Structure 1
Amino acid sequence: MKSNWLVGKTVLITGASSGIGRSLTEILIRTYSCRVIGIGRDEQKMINLKTSLGHLSDRFDYHLFDVSDQANWIDFSETISHDQTSIDILINNAGVMSRLTSIEHAGDFASEQVRSIMATDFLGAVDAIARLLPVIRQSSTPAIINMSSAAAFAPMPGTAAYSAAKAALKAYSEALASETRKRIYVSAICPGFVRTDLFRGQDEGLKDKRLRHFWMDSDRMARKIVKQMKRRKRQIFPGAQAKFIYILVNLFGIHALDFFSFILRKAKVQLFSDVFD
């Protein structure tokens, strides 16, 4: 398939109002003339995004709802069916880690908090796929892109629930890719640390300046993701950091995870301060 298969497609992106989701929206609209349907909960952020697109704003529409609620996906699928809206590409990007000001021990998480993270980061994507698959199948270039994480294969201290949700999404994506290989392009994206709302304000806690080079801004991350999407890669590890983590884990297994914990401890990242005794 030609490398410009993304041009002119209709793309649905969850978590489109900020971070990687917003960056992907802007790139796909500005560079590939896509139409993007954004899903999110913050209307002001959606309005700001639409305004920032200027004369291209008519290529962006949005719907406001919580992706973790299955009923919302049922209602949305009925809406697009009634409106005869086509979708070529689904990008499940919405995700949460913890609403706390710091990361906690795995045993400190309340079950409700774990369920909330799983509902957004994993089950929300599953519900989106289940409800939108009939529409996506009608496209000449159907694609499902799931935003997993390097945490799926290299869980960091204090991110037990988040890592579990992303690991589930990665495994789900790989199984779905095998099942639909000749009919639908399915990919799992596994980025490393990204400068988004989750880690904003943590730079001062990075005492080791070398560690700062591993953090990537969302615009740069999105460009790398789209580049690999054009090549229809089934697994995407955007950036040197994600590739480095993947290689170390494959070579050294659990010892690599111990090494990452050591780095975080020495770097004195404030967000992780409560994890280490």
Structure 2
Amino acid sequence: MSSLQFKDKWVLITGASAGLGKELAIQLARDYHANLILIARREGKLSELQSFLISQYDIHVKYLVADLSVQEDLEKVYQFSISNNVYGMILNAGVTYFGEDCQLEFAQAKKIIETNINSVVYLTQKFVQYFETKKQEGALMLVSSMAAMFPAPYQSIYSGTKSFLFSYGHALSHELKNKQFSISIFAPGGMQTEMTEGDSFGGLQKWLMPVNQAAKDALAGFAKRKYTILPGWQNRIGAKFMRLLPLKFLGNQMEKVYKKSLDNSK
């Protein structure tokens, strides 16, 4: 299967107003000259990013304000994307929670599941059906996490949702009949983003990867249609090493590191 060619093609990015999504948009515009469909909840941030990208990189940029935990908004995102002949889809939007799971209100837990899982499943199914029917070239990238592969205490629900995406995306990729369409899974470790700026993440800053490097590796792997994309040589080596260790042992070590960071933030 040939590599993806993003130049002058439309690429969808959810969660595009900040963090990894924003950096992916900038690099797709700057390095790949892609046209962009940006999705997020904050219109001010989207409008600002749209103006910047158009002025700096001479590309086409459209945006849609949407809450991916709302079913009607998901349908709007899908229809808006296919009406613009979307070529690549990056389902990046996600919500985290760092703390004791038993202190998480169920309404908040439900919101995390709706955003991290329900929205991704809905959009993935719709886009896969579209490309299977049309037999067009394209690709989908689901943003999972290294927390999908190893226990992440105090991020239990986030880890669980990302584990679902990791398994779901990989399994679904083997069902595809359109040989011009592919699914990649991006599984970064922690990154320096708006999501990890809070006090509770203070003790983890030294472990966080610069978001620009993570985005660069993500797009390089996506363009090559890689099955699994792990950014950074340290993460790739670490993942191989950790697979040799018992999960319970890894969970115990992660619990100590995360608990210390939480305690220091109080």
Cα distance in 2, alignment partners of residues 13 and 79 from structure 1: 12
- Say if 1:234 and 1:252 are closer, same or farther in 2 by CA, change over 3 A: same
TM-score by length of 2: 0.88
Q: Secondary structure at the match of 2:86?
A: coil
Cα distance in 2, alignment partners of residues 180 and 115 from structure 1: 30
Q: Secondary structure at the match of 1:168?
A: helix
Structure 2 equivalent of residue 149 of structure 1: 145
Structure 1 equivalent of residue 181 of structure 2: 184
Map 1:40-79; keep pairs closer than 5 Å: 40-53=40-53, 54-56=55-57, 58-79=59-80
Deviation of the 1:274 alpha carbon: 8.6
Cα distance in 2, alignment partners of residues 6 and 257 from structure 1: 40
How big is the alpha-carbon RMSD for the aligned residues of Structure 1 and Structure 2?
A: 2.6
Structure 1 equivalent of residue 232 of structure 2: 239
Cα distance in 1, alignment partners of residues 244 and 265 from structure 2: 26
- Say if 1:64 and 1:223 are closer, same or farther in 2 by CA, change over 3 A: same
State the one-letter code of the partner of 2:14.
Answer: T
Structure 2 equivalent of residue 226 of structure 1: 219
Cα distance in 1, alignment partners of residues 65 and 58 from structure 2: 17
Cα distance in 2, alignment partners of residues 74 and 7 from structure 1: 26
Bigger mean CA deviation after superposition, 225-234 or 35-44: 225-234
Q: Secondary structure at the match of 2:75?
A: helix
Contact (CA 8 Å) 1:189, 1:235: kept in 2 or not? yes
What runs of 5+ residues in structure 1 fail to find an aligned partner?
A: none
Contact (CA 8 Å) 1:87, 1:136: kept in 2 or not? no
Contact (CA 8 Å) 2:4, 2:225: kept in 1 or not? no
Aligned mate of 1:250, from 230, 243, 254: 243
Contact (CA 8 Å) 1:86, 1:139: kept in 2 or not? no
Cα distance in 2, alignment partners of residues 233 and 62 from structure 1: 27
% identical equivalent positions:
26
- Is 1:193 aligned to 2:190, yes or no? yes
TM-score by length of 1: 0.85
State the one-letter code of the partner of 2:123.
Answer: A
Cα distance in 2, alignment partners of residues 135 and 231 from structure 1: 22
Deviation of the 1:217 alpha carbon: 1.9
Deviation of the 1:105 alpha carbon: 1.7
Q: Deviations along 1:12-42, whole A, 9 cap, x unmatched?
A: 1100111111111111111111111011010
Structure 2 equivalent of residue 273 of structure 1: 263
Deviation of the 1:107 alpha carbon: 2.2
Contact (CA 8 Å) 1:122, 1:165: kept in 2 or not? yes
Number of residue-to-residue matches in the alignment = 262
State the one-letter code of the partner of 1:63.
Answer: L
Map 1:96-245; keep pairs closer than 5 Å: 96-98=95-97, 103-137=98-132, 138=134, 140-180=136-176, 182-202=179-199, 205-206=202-203, 212-245=205-238
- Say if 1:213 and 1:158 are closer, same or farther in 2 by CA, change over 3 A: closer
State the one-letter code of the partner of 1:25.
Answer: A
Structure 2 equivalent of residue 262 of structure 1: 256
State the one-letter code of the partner of 2:50.
Answer: K
What runs of 5+ residues in structure 2 fail to find an aligned partner?
A: none
- Say if 1:202 and 1:241 are closer, same or farther in 2 by CA, change over 3 A: farther
Deviation of the 1:227 alpha carbon: 1.5
Cα distance in 2, alignment partners of residues 42 and 230 from structure 1: 28
Bigger mean CA deviation after superposition, 69-78 or 114-123: 69-78
Cα distance in 2, alignment partners of residues 110 and 274 from structure 1: 23
Q: Deviations along 1:124-170, whole A, 9 cap, x unmatched?
A: 11111223334444364221100001111123221111111111111
Cα distance in 1, alignment partners of residues 169 and 4 from structure 2: 23
